[in-house]
Amino acid sequence: MIVTTLAVLVRILSNSMSNVYQKQLTSRGLNSFLLNFIMYSGLFVCCIPAIMGIDPDRLSGIVCVNAILGGVCGALGNSYLVKALEKGELSILGPINAYKSVVAMGVGIIILREIPSLIGLFAIVLIIAGSYVIFDTQEEGFSLKLLKRADIRYRIYALIFTAIEAVFIKNVIIYTDVKTSFVFWCLFGMLFTGAIVLKDRKFLPEKNSFVYSRLILVILLMGLMQYSTNFVFSRMNVSYGLALFQLSSILSVLLGRKFFKESQIAKKLLGCIIMVLGAVILILFN
């Protein structure tokens, strides 16, 4: 239990700090797909020694299909997240992740015919109420106009793809192990983002110590984030892990203030806490 708790804390801290450095890099003009290609490539190079220890007998067709689909969804989700960070505020975009649980409920209603309970509906009310408080700090307020903003749309795309990715990652872990799932995540993420980078011919806009140091930090932090995520998924239900990960949104609000001087932090923090509470209730008790 202690090890799992530490893994959750590592995941929360590494995810939030990687978002800070990703936003700093995109503000320098670095393309989101190129940033993720460099990140995946750096991690895959580090994984090369571990590849020799993978048991080929465990690499069934189911594993490969889930690994490929998870890699595609992960590459899209991470790239859309970086594009959102490039255009929006960290203290606004972080809490939106709480809507991942609402998306999951919507899918359950449509596909599985799962009707939400009263406590589930109460949790949705909390999430909406919390987001109302946060979005009230924006010029558009809590309205459909928000969906016209590129940063909000990209964050929603990222939310959807990473939610789907989590399912595929869990399947790979079930049939193999944490290490193998991490190697596949790096490999297929690198291949998919690499294809887009080559097609669009995106290159580093500037080459200096700041860019290189932040790229190294992103590689290290994203590696810690994903490996700790996989480890947590191997120890508990995916939905429970996703609920605990919502705590990173509170840290995102605080980091938005510290690194980017974002305003109305107290109000955003209040809304964030309400959304996190709603997400945790929805995932754990519905």
Does residue 250 contact residue 30 with C-beta atoms inside 8 Å?
Answer: no
Lowest-confidence range among 104-108, 122-126, 164-168, 170-174?
104-108
Angle between helices 209-235 and 178-200 (to 10 degrees): 140
Q: What is the pLDDT of residues 110-161, one digit of tens each?
A: 654 657 678 877 877 888 788 888 877 887 666 677 778 899 999 999 988 9
Q: What's CA 260's distance to the chain center, in Å? A: 20
Residue 137: name the closest of 257, 246, 281, 278 by CA.
257
* Residue 75, C-beta contacts closer than 8 angstroms, at least 6 positions apart: 36, 40, 188, 189, 192, 193
Predicted TM-score (pTM) of this structure: 0.85
Query: How far from each other are the two terminal CA atoms of the chain, in whole angstroms?
Result: 23
Lowest-confidence range among 57-61, 104-108, 122-126?
104-108
pLDDT of residue 104: 62
If you count them, how many residues does the chain have?
A: 286
